[in-house]
Amino acid sequence: MKIDHIRSLLIATATGLFISLFHSCSDINEIQQPFLDQAGRIYVGKIDSLQINGGTGRVEIVGSARYARTARTCRVSWGDSSQREFAMSEILDGDSVRILLNDIPEGNYMFSVQTFDEAGNKSIKESGHGISYGEEYRLSCTPKMVVKLETNPSTVLLHWSLIDHAVRMKVEYDAQDGTVKEVAVSPDDILTEIPLSDCKLGGRIISTTYILPEAHALDTIILEPMVQYFPESAEFPVDKTLFRIMNLPTDNTGCTYVHWAGPFPPEYLIDDNTATKFHTGDTFDVPTSNGVPCHVTIDLGVRARLSKYRVFAELADWTPSRIQLWGIDELTPENYTTLSSMDPGWEDEARAKGWTLLSDNRAGGDFTDNTYTIPDDNKITTRYIRIRFMASRSGDTGPNTFVLANELYFWANVIESLE
């Protein structure tokens, strides 16, 4: 009985093992069958290492063709159903391919590249992301622009914003001479200086930004020009510490008559002290200090486009009632006038010697403190000026007449250092 029982267990065990092995083999066959079915399939070498470069309405696909030796055509697909096919001979460049896709609507795409041989066998697809740029992208970009504009006596300072992807700038501005000029600005610049003398106040600053949206983009995108403006006005006091009285041959040298508590030289006009004064002399004094009209020549120590000036004078019969301002940029002995300022021909000689009449003004109020504006048409760049006292409050002119003034002040739209 015991032997029969053992025999039965052995038979049952063997039967179970056989059934298990049968099922195991069936499972393996099921797993391997898809691969066995494809055993005769031929794969074409693919284009790999894709780099997709975006452009304006177009995209370029660059890749390696080292494994695509048997490929004859290439298909590029993107979006829902868009695709284009190329002969490999069209796109091969050595061991690389370059595929240019034109007329691609603006947008972000996933591009798939697949090759085929003559028998229709195909490669595994290789995919990559690319962008076709257009008007929507261009309008979304922020151009480089002036975020702060400063003026000082000699320059206009343009402070620029910093932006990404800018590769070039074109900056133009309205110049003083009526032309449009270009100034060099690089995409990384944060500050640009333009000589104030060259700028048209209230004129345009036109900046155009050129964008490269990605490192290997096919096209530079030109943004809409940004139009900004210079200030309508700019005015600065001229530093009187640089002034110098010239004392030219026909200049009035002021009264030195001690009985009048003199001297009262023209240097007092620019000493920044209203308690001192310039006072012309009398017949007993130096001849060049006598009479009205008279003039004093001043070296400003800078080149300036004067905009206005102020004359402060104490109230007296000799307070000036009419004043002229003349200017010249370069001064040599050839420009010296030889006639007395009282001579009727003085103005003609001054003009012939290169002097320009900047302003001719009559004092208002009580004549003691008046500021005079220089007309725009007369605003020239000048270094030397002549203040010419034409008449006094008493109305007297000619020899043996007098005039006095305590202090002069000048302002300019542009001031250029002589250095």
Residue 197 belongs to a domain with what CATH number?
2.60.40.10
Residues 243 and 351 in one domain: yes
Residues 225 and 292 in one domain: no
Residues 251 and 365 in one domain: yes
Euclidean distance between CA atoms 292 and 398, whole angstroms: 5
Q: What's the distance, CA 203 to chain centroid?
A: 14
26 lies in a domain?
no
**In the predicted structure, residue 2 carries a pLDDT above the cut 50:** no
Residues 204 and 305 in one domain: no
Q: In terms of Cα–Cα distance, which of 308, 417, 324 is closest to 373? A: 308
Taking residues 323-337, report their average pLDDT: 96
From residue 98, alpha-carbon distances to 53, 90, 92, 95 in Å are 10, 9, 7, 10
Taking residues 40-62, report their average pLDDT: 92
Residues 401 and 335 in one domain: yes
Residues 155 and 130 in one domain: no
Choose the final residue of a domain: 208, 234, 260. Answer: 234
* Least confident window among 212-221, 283-292, 367-376: 283-292
Judge contact between 158 and 146, C-beta under 8 A: yes
Residues 168 and 241 in one domain: no
**N- to C-terminal Cα separation, the chain:** 130
Residues 296 and 199 in one domain: no
* One-character DSSP codes across 188-249: T-SEEEEEGGGB-TT-EEEEEEEE--STT-SSPEEPPPEEEE--S---EE--GGG-EE---T
What pLDDT digit, counting tens, does each position of 121-157 carry? 999 999 999 999 999 999 999 999 999 999 988 899 9
18 lies in a domain?
no
Residues 229 and 241 in one domain: no
Residues 248 and 216 in one domain: no
Residues 269 and 375 in one domain: yes
Collapsed DSSP state (helix, strand, coil) of residue 157: strand
Confidence (pLDDT) at 364 = 82
Taking residues 219-223, report their average pLDDT: 97
Choose the final residue of a domain: 199, 234, 269. Answer: 234
107 or 398, greater pLDDT: 107
How many domains, the chain? 3
**In the predicted structure, residue 314 carries a pLDDT above the cut 80:** yes
Euclidean distance between CA atoms 115 and 94, whole angstroms: 17
Judge contact between 252 and 294, C-beta under 8 A: yes
Taking residues 372-388, report their average pLDDT: 93
Euclidean distance between CA atoms 197 and 94, whole angstroms: 58
Segments forming the whole domain that contains residue 194: 141-234
Q: What share of the chain in percent tops pLDDT 90?
A: 72
Is residue 365 left, alpha or beta, with left meaning phi > 0 and alpha meaning psi from -120 to 50?
Answer: left
Confidence (pLDDT) at 17 = 44
Judge contact between 192 and 164, C-beta under 8 A: no
User: Residue 324 belongs to a domain with what CATH number?
Assistant: 2.60.120.260
Taking residues 293-313, report their average pLDDT: 95
**Vertex 74, ends 71 and 76: CA angle to 5°?**
155
**In the predicted structure, residue 348 carries a pLDDT above the cut 60:** yes
From residue 411, alpha-carbon distances to 11, 250, 310, 415 in Å are 123, 26, 9, 9
* Least confident window among 12-16, 47-51, 74-78: 12-16
Choose the final residue of a domain: 100, 134, 168. Answer: 134
Euclidean distance between CA atoms 28 and 391, whole angstroms: 123
262 lies in a domain?
yes
190 lies in a domain?
yes
Residues 168 and 285 in one domain: no
3 lies in a domain?
no
306 lies in a domain?
yes
Euclidean distance between CA atoms 277 and 407, whole angstroms: 7
Q: In terms of Cα–Cα distance, which of 230, 240, 179 is closest to 203? A: 230
Confidence (pLDDT) at 43 = 84
What pLDDT digit, counting tens, does each position of 87-128 carry? 999 999 989 999 999 999 999 999 999 999 999 999 999 999
**Vertex 181, ends 177 and 182: CA angle to 5°?**
160
407 lies in a domain?
yes
Per the listing, tokens 């015991």 go with: 2
**In the predicted structure, residue 20 carries a pLDDT above the cut 60:** no
Taking residues 200-218, report their average pLDDT: 96
377 lies in a domain?
yes
